Structure 1
């Protein structure tokens, strides 16, 4: 197989209300947009990006308020703003009919974008996500004493404890028994970004989810591949089955031995399954 030249340099897409850290690789006829699940970053997806770039134009960017992407000009974090920013990035990069891959709470942004701007999104690949209602319940259950959901208090708490939260998250999100070297491979890029001033607006994301209006799943007509890692201890007792039944054109693949990051933990299996699904 011919090696693909990889563009190592990332760049920023400058929008009115956000500065979005982005990387674009590959020249394929189909565009695959990968949005990391915070606190994951573009760096976490490097190997997957380079492999998929053989067949796709791959665009990877971090949501504003996370990693090296920032809100600007007094913009307030909300799901609606995230949709606006995502649409702006795709328009700036001349994207139409993309395959959009997102995870967890970010996947709720992807669903809204697919409903509001169907010309931008041809297909959805969504990992570790259920309906908005179920995800709201999950977020509430992860918030001790409701502090993260409390405006200003939550932001202050996350700001002070974001490195501790990142360590705890990777400890719980990866399957039980994950070796220390693997866990550090996830953790260290995140800690480095935080040391360099990277954002981690977890409290704002939780609060935005609580404020968000209802989502009409019946209006989302794009074929959707739902992925669920069964070894994800952060979502014990949950599944994507509610979302499977809510979406008109969804398919669910459950992966034994995978935690919260099935597209990264089992990248080879994911790529194989993705290509098979696209062949239809």
Structure 2
């Protein structure tokens, strides 16, 4: 896999890419980078072209004027599709990235052939609060995100000094996006337009976006299936990369007729 760069609206954007075939776009959560999908870039690339961008302002992608809210990132993804020369694709996302993926799916229901959401924001539940991870005390930040911090440290793809610098910068950018849009679902999001096959993958022990959000999304979407992973928190693609890879690969293979 390689990290590539191009420009859009005069600003640099960066992405990780691996494999060839039908395009699969994977969107990281708030504060992260495309490298979060390191394992999936490897395991899915045997059959697909897998693209994991740094969203605007994160990683090595520059902030873009006019992209000020989380919902605005949908516009950036749509613009980047032209640079990638992609017309039809599957898309997935974790947390904030899942919210963006939902927005893309709602805006482009005929182009998005399959959708994969991991512990994603997408509906509003009055009695089940979403926790902003930036509000967690520093000594509880990692234990708030994942079930087993020691396991995460062994598996995390973020291992270099530049990774640490990008993540630190990303937290500030995430706070800027939340300041304009908040962490709740976009009220203009029309879930009735999200009619493609959808995989909902959730950590049972997620305290950031609890599993009840997955259950409600399963009810709200036309063609959704929910899989809950035990002993996992908010980042299943890192906490349980092999199970996540198998689940995503199985979902995509069952809908292979749409991915051509």
TM-score normalised per structure 1: 0.76
CA RMSD of aligned residues (A): 3.1
2:132 counterpart residue number: 142
Runs of 5+ unmatched residues, structure 1:
1-6, 149-160
Q: Which of 210, 216, 226 is the aligned partner of 1:252? A: 226
1:274 counterpart residue number: 248
Q: Distance in 2 between matches of 1:180 and 1:273?
A: 19
1:78 counterpart residue number: 69
1:172 counterpart residue number: 144
Q: Distance in 1 between matches of 2:118 and 2:153?
A: 24
Contact 2:204–2:228, Cα closer than 8 Å, also in 1 = yes
Q: Distance in 2 between matches of 1:117 and 1:180?
A: 34
Closer, same or farther in 2 for the Cα pair 1:11/1:264, shift >3 Å? Answer: same
1:221 counterpart residue number: 195
Contact 2:119–2:201, Cα closer than 8 Å, also in 1 = yes
Closer, same or farther in 2 for the Cα pair 1:49/1:252, shift >3 Å? Answer: same
Q: By how many angstroms is 1:90 displaced?
A: 1.4
Task: Give the 5 Å matches for 1:19-58.
Answer: 19-28=12-21, 30-58=22-50
Which structure would you say has the larger Rg?
1
Q: Distance in 1 between matches of 2:201 and 2:152?
A: 25
Q: By how many angstroms is 1:143 displaced?
A: 7.9
Following TM superposition, where does structure 1 have runs of at least 4 consecutive aligned residues deviating by more than 6 angstroms?
Answer: none
Q: Distance in 2 between matches of 1:20 and 1:49?
A: 18
2:258 counterpart residue number: none
Q: Which of 164, 171, 174 is the aligned partner of 1:191? A: 164
Runs of 5+ unmatched residues, structure 2:
255-260
What secondary structure, in the 3-state scheme, does the structure 2 residue paired with 1:53 have? helix
What secondary structure, in the 3-state scheme, does the structure 1 residue paired with 2:208 have? helix
Closer, same or farther in 2 for the Cα pair 1:279/1:183, shift >3 Å? Answer: closer
Q: Distance in 2 between matches of 1:20 and 1:12?
A: 6
Q: Which of 16, 23, 28 is the aligned partner of 2:9? A: 16
Closer, same or farther in 2 for the Cα pair 1:271/1:177, shift >3 Å? Answer: closer
1:129 counterpart residue number: 120
Q: By how many angstroms is 1:217 displaced?
A: 0.9
1:102 counterpart residue number: 93
1:155 counterpart residue number: none
TM-score normalised per structure 2: 0.82
Equivalenced residues, count: 251
Q: Distance in 2 between matches of 1:241 and 1:128?
A: 11
Closer, same or farther in 2 for the Cα pair 1:209/1:132, shift >3 Å? Answer: farther
